[in-house]
């Protein structure tokens, strides 16, 4: 198969880049390893800050793919830069793809919460992750028919933590926790909800308002302290320990459910691709842009572009805006190599 652009990854970044490059009458090939387009938001129910349905966004993105050739359930087995302007890639299915440029829209991975053993994910039934909760929201299950009395959110699980080699802030979890806490409170108005945080990073428009609403309208309580340990009592309830740093006292609380806000880490499964293309990775494992301000979607290899959260945690609107700008950059590059 031949094309102008090969896009790796069929999440929001890959889909939006594909549809915008197709607008320039280019041949675009989009490869997605899963059997469905959408990436992480397929598992998400509603999106912050306004509660728009994730499925609406996915459908809209899918509908605008234009003439993009979509290959599902396949990943790249190898990729090679032949002469100056051509790439040859082989898919897991054995199919060979020749193209003039490559866009890595390989996204991120959620931190596997069981690695933080002291939080007991996978050991205790009532310790779940942000992703698990979204899946439950999607299935309209919530936290079960029996209304929980007390629920806790643990921020920064797998983020800002040198002990598990992820120093970066995942950026989205603060606002996601606030969103999910409000959703739980809407489902179970009598439940007491606690958020254990280190810093609340409400940097986006509308986020601070949501935080204020969580406090004033929903009565969600915020405790400043990183959870050090979670255990289970005989009745299956979970006990959370932290320092209440603002009161300078150790704190203990028994909860019905604990939600771990698993952070965003780099998709290390693609390391062989970045090695074959000789791309530079940062210490955090994310792909390095040529520069962090002007050339955010270019890499150290001409013809290889990167977009979305493959270069670090990003919100959905940020990813989509970047995808559009990547489409322009790629089109410019294709014009340039055509004209010599």
Q: How far apart are CA 194 and CA 157, in angstroms?
A: 16
Does position 141 interact with another protein (CB under 8 A)? The reply is: no
Does position 248 interact with another protein (CB under 8 A)? The reply is: yes
Q: Which is nearer to another protein, 130 or 159 (CB)?
A: 159
State the minimum distance, in angstroms, from the CB of residue 169 to another protein: 11
Q: Which is nearer to another protein, 166 or 296 (CB)?
A: 166
Q: How far apart are CA 324 and CA 229, in angstroms?
A: 43
State the minimum distance, in angstroms, from the CB of residue 13 to another protein: 29
Does position 284 interact with another protein (CB under 8 A)? The reply is: no
Does position 163 interact with another protein (CB under 8 A)? The reply is: yes
CA-closest candidate to residue 11, choices 328, 327, 319: 319
Does position 120 interact with another protein (CB under 8 A)? The reply is: no
* 89 Cβ contact partners less than 8 Å away, ≥ 6 residues apart: 6, 76, 78, 79, 80, 96, 97, 98, 99, 102
* 26 Cβ contact partners less than 8 Å away, ≥ 6 residues apart: 3, 4, 5, 330, 331, 334
Instruction: Pick one of 149, 224, 237, 276: the residue that binds another protein (CB under 8 A).
Output: 224
State the minimum distance, in angstroms, from the CB of residue 46 to another protein: 29
Instruction: Pick one of 208, 213, 243, 284: the residue that binds another protein (CB under 8 A).
Output: 243
Within positions 164 to 203, which residues make up the interface with another protein, using CB under 8 A? 198-199
Pairing of strands 28-32, 87-91: unpaired
Burial environment of residue 264 by CB neighbours within 10 A (0 to 12, 13 to 18, 19 or more): buried
Q: Which is nearer to another protein, 78 or 117 (CB)?
A: 117
Does position 115 interact with another protein (CB under 8 A)? The reply is: no
Q: How far apart are CA 263 and CA 270, in angstroms?
A: 19
The CA-based diameter of the chain, rounded to the nearest angstrom, is 73
Does position 251 interact with another protein (CB under 8 A)? The reply is: yes
Does position 320 interact with another protein (CB under 8 A)? The reply is: no
Burial environment of residue 203 by CB neighbours within 10 A (0 to 12, 13 to 18, 19 or more): exposed
Does position 161 interact with another protein (CB under 8 A)? The reply is: yes
Does position 271 interact with another protein (CB under 8 A)? The reply is: no
Contacts to another protein by CB under 8 A: 118, 156, 160-163, 198-199, 224-229, 241-245, 248, 250-251
């Amino acid at each position: 198969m031949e094309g102008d652009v090969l896009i790796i990854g069929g999440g929001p970044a890959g889909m939006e880049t594909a549809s915008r490059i197709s607008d320039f009458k280019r041949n675009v090939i989009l490869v997605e390893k899963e059997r469905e387009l959408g990436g992480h938001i397929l598992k998400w129910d509603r999106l912050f800050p306004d509660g728009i349905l994730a499925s609406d966004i996915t459908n809209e993105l899918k509908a605008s793919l234009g003439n993009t050739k979509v290959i599902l359930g396949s990943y790249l087995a190898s990729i090679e830069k032949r002469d100056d302007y051509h790439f040859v890639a082989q898919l897991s299915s054995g199919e060979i793809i020749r193209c003039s440029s490559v866009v890595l829209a390989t996204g991120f991975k959620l931190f596997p919460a069981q690695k933080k053993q002291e939080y007991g994910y996978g050991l205790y039934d009532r310790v779940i992750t942000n992703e698990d909760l979204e899946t439950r929201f999607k299935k309209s299950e919530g936290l079960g028919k029996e209304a929980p009395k007390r629920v806790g959110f643990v921020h920064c699980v797998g983020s800002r933590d040198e002990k598990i080699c992820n120093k970066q802030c995942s950026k989205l979890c603060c606002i996601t926790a606030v969103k999910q806490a409000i959703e739980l409170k809407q489902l179970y108005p009598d439940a007491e909800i606690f958020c254990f945080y280190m810093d609340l990073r409400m940097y986006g428009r509308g986020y601070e308002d949501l935080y204020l609403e969580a406090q004033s309208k929903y009565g969600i309580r915020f405790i400043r302290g990183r959870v050090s340990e979670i255990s289970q009592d005989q009745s299956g309830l979970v006990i959370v320990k932290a320092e209440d740093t603002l009161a300078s006292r150790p704190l203990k609380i028994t909860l019905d459910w604990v939600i771990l806000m698993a952070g965003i880490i780099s998709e290390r499964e693609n390391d062989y691709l970045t090695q074959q293309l000789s791309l530079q990775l940062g210490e955090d494992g994310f792909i390095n842009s040529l520069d962090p301000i002007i050339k955010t979607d270019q890499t150290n290899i001409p013809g290889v572009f990167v977009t979305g959260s493959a270069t670090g945690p990003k919100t959905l609107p940020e990813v989509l805006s970047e995808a559009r700008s990547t489409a322009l950059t790629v089109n410019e590059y294709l014009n340039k190599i055509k004209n010599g």
